[in-house]
């Protein structure tokens, strides 16, 4: 059984030199500060994107920015930057920090307001672009696979807040992540209130059965991940049938192969769920082939700097 870490940790190899894009200016980490009255801090009011850099290529940056603006529209959160200006600012931040490979955290907070919950007291959203490094899973798990559990914490209903919004409030996912750590694994499946699989705490979920690739539909409560979409495209290009269907734990337990996808996780093979081996208990051949094709895609699909 794998031992859980304390969670994903951002590493700062150039901590003293890090330049954070903060409302149009570059500031050091020590000077990148928001007000304690920012509703992003007080209420989790805002949204974000996590984006990867591969060999000075920002993977599918425009797709991430489009999703960010869709999230902001849903939240009635408006910034002065156009989508192209946000793309340009992100590229500028990457060039400024000069990382060949890394991770971008782009945040938009509601901004400073009163202690009341109303967002209409906030006039100036904060836009923050952090370029650093990230370590989510140890490298060896990409070849030997992960054991995971099913969390008792159920995924928030899409009737409450749309799962398509990457909001700053991740408490639902965090509670499930705590369950994973308490079970000495690194990740946990989350179900909806009807017992169908939705996603993991920070990743989309896939399984393969009889040559068909299955993943939960986004309307059920799963985030439409950028990596998820890329893997679906790669599978179809390889002649693999892909179905977005509701899945139960029975389908997960009896799958031939299974894996997770996410910006930070990439394509992560699963080898057991709730102590039940997936297939032969080793990463599947199709999983590893999709992993290989995804890695090839990451260095050529996006915006170079």
- pLDDT score for 299: 96
Residue pair 148/188 in contact (Cβ under 8 Å)? The answer is yes
pLDDT higher than 80, residue 135: no
Select the more confidently predicted residue: 122 or 12.
122
Mean pLDDT of 128-134: 94
Phi, psi angle pair for 106, to nearest 5°: -105, 120
- pLDDT score for 16: 52
- pLDDT score for 8: 45
Mean pLDDT of 132-151: 92
CATH among 3.10.20.740, 3.90.420.10, 3.50.50.60, 3.20.10.10 for 141-304: 3.20.10.10
Tens digits of residue pLDDT in 233-278? 999 999 999 999 999 999 999 999 999 999 999 999 999 999 999 9
Tokens 């999230």 sit on residue: 71
- pLDDT score for 9: 46
The region of weakest confidence among 49-53, 95-99, 121-125, 134-138 is 134-138
Tens digits of residue pLDDT in 182-203? 999 999 999 999 999 999 999 9
Select the more confidently predicted residue: 5 or 43.
43
User: Does the model's pTM come out above 0.85?
Assistant: yes
pLDDT higher than 80, residue 146: yes
Domain spanning 9-135, CATH class: alpha beta
> Could you give the residue numbers annotated as active site?
166
- pLDDT score for 125: 98
Mean pLDDT of the chain: 94
- pLDDT score for 194: 97
Tens digits of residue pLDDT in 152-175? 999 999 999 998 899 999 999 999
Taking the domains of the chain in order of start, what are their residue ranges?
9-135, 141-304
Phi, psi angle pair for 25, to nearest 5°: -125, 155
Select the more confidently predicted residue: 25 or 2.
25
pLDDT higher than 80, residue 1: no
Q: Which of 196, 198, 214, 194 is nearest to 206 (CA)?
A: 214
Is beta strand 302-304 parallel, antiparallel or unpaired with respect to 257-262? unpaired
Mean pLDDT of 67-84: 98
Tens digits of residue pLDDT in 13-66? 444 589 999 999 999 999 999 999 999 999 999 999 999 999 999 999 999 999
Q: What is the 3-state secondary structure (H, E, C) of the chain?
A: CCCCCCCCEEECCCCCCCEEEECCEEEEHHHCCCCCCEHHHHHCCEEEEEEEEECCEEECHHHHHHHHHHHHHHCCCCCCCCHHHHHHHHHHHHHHHCCCCEEEEEEEECCECCCCCCHHHCCCCEEEEEEEEEECCCCCHHHHCEEEEECCCCCCCCCCCCCCCCECCCHHHHHHHHHHHHCCCCCEEEECCCCCEEEECCCEEEEEECCEEEECCHHHCCCCCHHHHHHHHHHHHCCCEEEECCCCHHHHHCCCEEEEEECCCEEEEEEEECCEECCCCCCCHHHHHHHHHHHHHHCCCEEEC
């Amino acid at each position: 059984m794998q031992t859980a870490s304390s969670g994903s940790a951002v590493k700062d190899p150039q901590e003293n030199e890090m330049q954070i894009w903060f409302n149009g200016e570059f500031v050091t980490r020590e000077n990148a500060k928001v007000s304690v009255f920012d509703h992003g801090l007080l209420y989790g009011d805002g949204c974000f994107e996590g984006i990867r850099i591969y060999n000075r290529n920002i993977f599918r940056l425009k797709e991430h920015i489009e999703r960010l603006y869709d999230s902001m529209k849903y939240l009635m959160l408006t910034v002065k930057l156009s989508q192209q200006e946000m793309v340009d600012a992100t590229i500028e931040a990457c060039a400024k920090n000069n990382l060949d490979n890394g991770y971008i955290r782009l945040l938009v907070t509601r901004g400073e307001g009163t202690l009341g919950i109303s967002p209409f007291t906030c006039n100036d959203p904060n836009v923050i672009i952090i370029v650093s490094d990230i370590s989510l899973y140890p490298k060896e798990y990409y070849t030997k696979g992960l054991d995971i559990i099913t969390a008792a914490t159920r995924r928030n209903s899409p009737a409450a807040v749309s799962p398509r919004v990457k909001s700053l409030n991740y408490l639902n996912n965090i509670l499930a992540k705590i369950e994973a750590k308490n079970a000495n694994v690194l990740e946990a499946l989350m179900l909806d209130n009807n017992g169908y699989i939705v996603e993991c705490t920070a990743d989309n979920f896939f399984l393969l059965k009889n040559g068909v690739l299955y993943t939960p539909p986004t309307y059920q409560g799963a985030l439409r991940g950028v990596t998820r979409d890329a893997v679906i495209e790669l599978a179809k290009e390889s002649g693999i049938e892909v179905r977005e269907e509701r899945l139960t734990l029975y389908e997960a337990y009896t799958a031939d192969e299974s894996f997770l996808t996410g910006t930070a996780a990439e394509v992560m093979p699963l080898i057991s769920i709730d102590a039940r081996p997936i297939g032969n208990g080793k990463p599947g051949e199709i999983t590893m082939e999709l992993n290989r094709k995804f890695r090839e895609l990451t260095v050529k699909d996006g915006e170079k700097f």
